[in-house]
Amino acid sequence: MRESAKRYQTIDPGDGRPPGAIASGATGRREGALRLLTVRPLALACALSVAFAAPQRAGAEGPVDLPSAFGRAFEGVDACVALRDVAPGAGTAVSDRAACERRLPPCATFEFAATVIALDRGVVPDANVPVKRNPPLQADPPEGVNLRDAFRKPVPWVFEEVARRIGSEAFTRALAAMRYGNAEVGDRVERIGRGENANGLVLSAVEQVDFLARLKRGELPTSAESQARTVEIAATERLGDSTVAWKTGACDGAAWAVGWVERSERNVIFASVATGVEPSAADVVARTRRLMSELALVPPAK
């Protein structure tokens, strides 16, 4: 097992509570760098027990060993996984601090942010309103494609058109206000998030789960409606008594699987990313499912 799979760390919420603590009210904005703590597996399991109440194995004591679960699920892959409860003030569990703080192109997972911005600014009035490319290509459906279908299938050109309509300056301001990665649009706004230029949009797995948690709580600086509709259009998968929302994307040496999983009273945000030569989003999804199963976030595979 790689050294990165031998440790499991948490990122302190930075407001005086222990990692994994849940705030009783609104959480203030965090200032400065996040404090990073290395903890033993059992201590982490206790700290994040709200999110990771993993089952006991036959003949064993205590919860499933989290670093071992990550090592088994992502063996042989350069990868990072970040997990956190959706509640404000919750700590973020990371498989490896350096890997999960490394900023990478978000690829198609950027469509979460793009959808919120498009709906908030009225560039697209509703997720069910068709978008048509300007100028259209012969292969485009004459009726266009709505944001809901474009997000789920996906249909990349729809978000290219949306980005052109929003424009570079407005996009940059919106990303900065939402604290989405480095908030850099790059040279071509329609190619945002794909890692095609050195000064383009990048963010880390830690930033992914922070953004998605704020989106789920409706705390982004956009309309409540834009956030609720974005959460609603995310494709979901029913796994036993768990519901998992997925968004995947692969580009320029990065493959992502991000979203949230709900089971019983648990609501956990996740971001998994693999790097290297042509990483596969489908492979990251399969490995993330295995990790979730070991952490009892989804039922065991049959």
Asked whether residue 135 is assigned to any structural domain, the reply reads no
Span 106-122, pLDDT tens digits: 999 999 999 999 999 99
Asked whether residue 150 is assigned to any structural domain, the reply reads no
Contact 70, 2 (CB under 8 A): no
CA distance 290 to 296: 10
Structural domains in the chain (count): 1
Residue (of 24, 137, 3) closest to 71 by Cα position = 3
Contact 13, 22 (CB under 8 A): no
Token reading at 29: 């904005």
CA distance 44 to 205: 19
Residue 23 reports pLDDT greater than 90: no
Q: Is the four-CA dihedral 267, 126, 155, 189 of positive or negative sign?
A: negative
pLDDT of residue 9: 56
Rounded mean pLDDT of the chain?
A: 83
Residue 10 reports pLDDT greater than 80: no
Q: Give residue 301's domain range.
A: 1-102+239-266+279-302
Asked whether residue 177 is assigned to any structural domain, the reply reads no
Contact 105, 81 (CB under 8 A): no
Asked whether residue 7 is assigned to any structural domain, the reply reads yes
Asked whether residue 271 is assigned to any structural domain, the reply reads no
CA distances (Å), 73 to each of 81, 168, 239, 245, in order?
Answer: 11, 39, 18, 19
CA distance 128 to 148: 6
Asked whether residue 190 is assigned to any structural domain, the reply reads no
Return the minimum-mean-pLDDT range out of 35-39, 138-142, 192-196. Answer: 35-39
Asked whether residue 203 is assigned to any structural domain, the reply reads no
Arithmetic mean of pLDDT, 135-149: 95
CA distance 40 to 9: 8
Asked whether residue 225 is assigned to any structural domain, the reply reads no
Arithmetic mean of pLDDT, 49-67: 46
Residue 48 reports pLDDT greater than 50: no
Return the minimum-mean-pLDDT range out of 7-16, 204-213, 225-234. Answer: 7-16
